[in-house]
Amino acid sequence: MPELKMPANLPDPIINENAKIVLQRRYQRKDTEGVVYETVKELFWRVASAIAAEEAKYERSTVKPAKLARDFYDLMTSYRFLPNSPTLMNAGTDLGQLAACFVLPVADDIEGIFDAVKHAAMIHKSGGGTGFAFSRLRAKDSVVGSTGGVASGPLSFLKIFNCATEQIKQGGTRRGANMGILRIDHPDIMEFIKAKERDGELNNFNLSVGLTEAFMQAVNEKADYNLIAPNTGEAVGTLNARDVFNILVQKAWESGDPGIVFLDRINRDNPTPALGEIESTNPCGEQPLLPYEACNLGSINLGLCFAKGRNGKDSEIDWDELKRIIHLSVRFLDNVIDASVYPLDQITEMVGKNRKIGLGVMGWADLLYQLQIPYNSQTAVDMAERVMKFVQAESRSASKQLATERGQFPAYPESTFGKANLGPYRNATTTTIAPTGTLSIIAGCSSGVEPLFALSFVRNVMDNDKLVETNPYFEAALNSADAYSGKLMEEIAKVGSIKKMDHLPEHLRHVYVTSMDIEPIWHLKMQAAFQKYTDNAVSKTVNLPNSATKEDIWDIYWKAYEYGCKGVTVYRDGSKTSQVLCTGDGD
């Protein structure tokens, strides 16, 4: 690819204080002594120019690489869009691995298992996270044909994956993150459900139980269901579905783990069933993938798509601007696929067939604050549907445009799009909503589609750097209500929320809600609203107060199913002493 020279008049990016620390620690290039030799401006130019340079190989492209590089640079440094962390870290470098999400198969033999351990290590080294289904592994104590011994089962191998992850500092930047999934009808499912009951156990894994429609029906009917030996396909026992669901809920109440994913639902939306069945997602659950598939993500900062109405009334979203950002971002993410060097040939091949990308949003809570819409309201849920419907439609339209310039994704003819004659499209999926743990720090916005954790708080950034952060939209609202004072800010930093501060104006307490002020049902309704128009899945945690009961969690798990979510994760305040993965401040 031709090198694109940095233009002399390229403006310096404006960087917030938290971003400065994060970028320097993890993203700016360092020499062998660990000394940073890249400025933030050079970082963003490295990424923008490397991704834009891919354009040159498409003869029918309508855009010039040099102009595109500048557009990408402006897009990122205005924090309207950011690609996932591996792209920021590795674009334009020798490593060149740009995707955050991978799923690897785990075969039912020693060679296959240790291949997966090795492949995961290679992916972690490059900054990616891995998901695995352990469902194909034969149950503990089943016979091993070649030795006449007995198998040790999925759980014993999970520990090996966990240990291996512990030892690999990802490219000197992040420690590995994994998802482990086991089907509900696997004979070792009870052991799996209890696997994280001791704090710190399997610390490099998020666990999710893969639920099926048949199982959910059995729960509803209080019926028994069969456990199936994966190696023989035979039913080897039965369990009562409701009892198992109860224990699942109990464990999630105790520690947040395991979460649940609805496997049949994920496969119903699998765009290329001819290429295989989806058994797992990436570590934070938002990206279901086929074995050996990878996906790169990127997020649009909705907080910057606010359009103030005249006289402060009729504020809206700047739809034209959002459309422009979506189209540019889809081109960016499609180019990332070409620019990326994957650690395994099988992955290069799979990614080449489907060309999945995951464009999502962050800064949702910031946008709602500006629109003066409480997160816990039907108006917000309706707005979520409207926004995501637009993102999905426009990202697909951008993908169609790219298909005319560069051709459809190779698996298109055998895909559900091809069969329904919908395309051609350049990408088998275009939308995913990521947690944006670190991206939201860089962009200085609220993360993903989550409500704010606190209006003002002390953030622990990596080791021991402490930073006080106040939401800028909240601060502005306090100022214009003449309510701002240093003493008040100290008070708010202690509790995070203003819900109980009667001395503050009612409308402020109504609009500026935080995750703890929001009843679980609104978390779920919001997740479902975004999921309705997302090809892949939505990363969302239903935050609960410490006083939440097991019945509350049962209700959430059940409603997640009824509302059409692809999975759900709950977190009860104070139920884990160690930091949750992917919050961006310690992983």
Catalytic residue numbers?
282, 284, 286
Q: Does 435 bind ligand ADP (CB under 6 A)?
A: yes
Q: Which residue is nearest to ligand ADP (CB)?
A: 129
Nearer to ligand ADP, 280 or 408 (CB): 280
Nearer to ligand ADP, 65 or 584 (CB): 584
Judged by CB under 6 A, which stretch of 186-194, 313-321, 431-439, 549-557 contacts ligand ADP?
Answer: 431-439
**Residue 77 CB, nearest distance to ligand ADP (Å)?**
17
The CA distance from 145 to 541, in Å, is 43
Contact positions with ligand ADP (CB under 6 A) in 200-259: none
**Residue 519 CB, nearest distance to ligand ADP (Å)?**
25
Contact positions with ligand ADP (CB under 6 A) in 114-133: 128-129
The CA distance from 555 to 484, in Å, is 40
Closest CA to 449 of 440, 458, 441: 440
Assign 248 to helix, strand or coil.
helix
The CA distance from 331 to 68, in Å, is 10
Q: What is the token pair recorded at 532?
A: 């309705």
Nearer to ligand ADP, 128 or 418 (CB): 128
Q: Which residues contact 114 (CB under 8 A, 6 or more apart)?
A: none
Q: Does 439 bind ligand ADP (CB under 6 A)?
A: yes
Which residue of 154, 171, 283, 291 would you call a contact of ligand ADP, by CB under 6 A?
A: 283
Nearer to ligand ADP, 433 or 477 (CB): 433
Nearer to ligand ADP, 67 or 169 (CB): 169
- x/- mask, ligand ADP, residues 132-171, rule CB under 6 A, reads --------------------------------------x-
The CA distance from 310 to 315, in Å, is 8
Which residue of 29, 30, 175, 323 would you call a contact of ligand ADP, by CB under 6 A?
A: 175
Contacts with ligand ADP by CB under 6 A: the residue count is 25
Which residue of 135, 142, 208, 282 would you call a contact of ligand ADP, by CB under 6 A?
A: 282
The identity of residue 269, as a single letter, is D
Which residue of 177, 249, 443, 544 would you call a contact of ligand ADP, by CB under 6 A?
A: 177
Q: What is the token pair recorded at 216?
A: 């959910």
Assign 318 to helix, strand or coil.
coil
**Residue 284 CB, nearest distance to ligand ADP (Å)?**
3
**Residue 407 CB, nearest distance to ligand ADP (Å)?**
28
Which residue blocks in 355-438 are alpha helix, DSSP H? 364-371, 378-406, 416-419
Q: Does 260 bind ligand ADP (CB under 6 A)?
A: no
CB-based contact 142:232 (threshold 8 Å):
no
The CA distance from 474 to 457, in Å, is 13
- x/- mask, ligand ADP, residues 27-66, rule CB under 6 A, reads ----------------------------------------
Q: Does 438 bind ligand ADP (CB under 6 A)?
A: yes
* Tally of CB atoms within 10 A around 170: 23
CB-based contact 184:244 (threshold 8 Å):
yes
Q: Does 280 bind ligand ADP (CB under 6 A)?
A: no
**Residue 104 CB, nearest distance to ligand ADP (Å)?**
12
Q: Does 361 bind ligand ADP (CB under 6 A)?
A: no
CB-based contact 258:566 (threshold 8 Å):
no
The single-letter DSSP state of residue 287 is -
CB-based contact 321:381 (threshold 8 Å):
no
- x/- mask, ligand ADP, residues 81-100, rule CB under 6 A, reads ---xx--------------x
Q: Rounded to whole angstroms, what are the CA distances from 400 to 332, 395, 430, 542?
A: 14, 9, 11, 35
CB-based contact 180:134 (threshold 8 Å):
yes
Tokens 């020499």 sit at which residue? 31
CA atoms within 13 A on the CB side of 535: 26
Q: Does 535 bind ligand ADP (CB under 6 A)?
A: no
Q: Residue numbers of the site for ligand ADP (CB under 6 A)?
A: 84-85, 100-101, 128-129, 170, 174-177, 282-284, 286, 297, 434-439, 582, 584, 587
